[in-house]
């Protein structure tokens, strides 16, 4: 389920034992709120720009973390948001996150990491959604991730594909049905409606009706 962890090594930092390299002046404000968030940002910056990195840009986890920070979530949640794509998209492994950040943050990141053994996209996403709703903070990061992606797609004029749109709509519906006071869903509903109105014709998909319970 997780990537090989031998490809990533880190000199110790004062707070977590993580790699903290690069110019500190470029750290966003949200990462200055705690040593954990600072180290998580620096590790994410190194991982997403280093060997074995995937297509995820650092701006995405920062956008997700900013949503959570603005909503008042704790530093462990903000730190996990900064790291949430590292196991899927970089050479970083969940064991390394646990050793450097502890069980709490590693558990949140693990809860957000898809099981790559499930090859079919719809089945893999369904399993990830079902797992995310088991923990309120994991669900919050998951929903913030979808909101940040929807806004990026709208800003960049990138057309969303049908399977991804279906996954986002199912996330919205599942979370609204199963979670008490789910965060970010009202905003996500608005942005998905905008995406659907813009892209449904282009991708040949019917426009689903979005309604929060």
DSSP 183: T
- Residue 205 has a pLDDT of 53
For position 104, what pLDDT does the model report? Answer: 98
Q: Are 146 and 168 in contact (CB under 8 A)?
A: yes
Q: Is the pLDDT of residue 4 over 80?
A: no
The full set of domains in the chain, from first to last, is 24-112 (1.10.3210.10), 121-203 (no CATH)
What is the mean predicted confidence (pLDDT) over 44-73? 83
Q: Are 166 and 210 in contact (CB under 8 A)?
A: no
- Predicted confidence band at 192 (pLDDT cuts at 50, 70, 90)? very high
Q: Is the dihedral of CA 90, 91, 95, 98 positive or negative?
A: negative
* Residue with the larger pLDDT of the pair 79 and 58: 79
Q: Whole-angstrom Cα distance, residue 29 to residue 70?
A: 11
Q: How far apart are CA 64 and CA 86, in angstroms?
A: 13
Residue linked to tokens 């990462």: 31
Q: Which of 5-9, 59-63, 97-101, 107-111 has the lowest mean pLDDT?
A: 5-9
Residues that are catalytic: 88-89
List alpha helices for the chain, DSSP H: 35-49, 59-70, 75-83, 86-89, 94-101, 103-112, 121-132, 136-156, 162-178, 185-203
Report yes or no: 60 and 149 within 8 Å, Cβ to Cβ. Answer: yes
**What pLDDT shows up at residue 17?**
42
Coil vs helix vs strand at 27:
coil
Question: Rounded to an integer, what distance in angstroms lies between the CA atom of residue 111 and that of residue 92?
Answer: 15
* pLDDT score recorded for residue 19: 52
Q: Locate 209 and state its tokens.
A: 């009706």
Mean pLDDT of the chain: 84
């Amino acid at each position: 389920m997780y990537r090989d962890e031998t490809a990533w090594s880190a000199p110790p930092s004062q707070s977590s034992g993580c790699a903290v390299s690069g110019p500190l002046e470029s750290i966003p404000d949200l990462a200055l709120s705690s040593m954990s968030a600072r180290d998580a940002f620096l590790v994410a910056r190194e991982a997403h720009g280093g060997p074995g990195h995937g297509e995820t840009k650092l701006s995405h986890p920062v956008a997700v973390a900013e949503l959570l920070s603005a909503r008042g979530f704790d530093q462990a949640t903000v730190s996990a948001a900064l790291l949430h794509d590292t196991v899927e998209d970089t050479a970083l492994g969940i064991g390394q996150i646990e050793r450097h950040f502890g069980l709490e943050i590693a558990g949140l990141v693990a809860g957000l990491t898809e099981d790559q053994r499930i090859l079919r996209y719809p089945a893999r996403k369904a399993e990830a959604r079902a797992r995310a709703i088991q923990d309120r903070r994991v669900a919050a990061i998951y929903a913030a991730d979808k909101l940040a992606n929807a806004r990026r797609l709208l800003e960049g004029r990138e057309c969303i594909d049908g399977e991804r749109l279906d996954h986002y709509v199912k996330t919205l519906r599942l979370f609204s049905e199963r979670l008490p006071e789910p965060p970010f869903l009202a905003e996500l509903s608005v942005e998905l409606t905008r995406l659907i109105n813009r892209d449904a014709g282009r991708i040949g998909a019917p426009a689903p009706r979005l309604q929060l319970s």
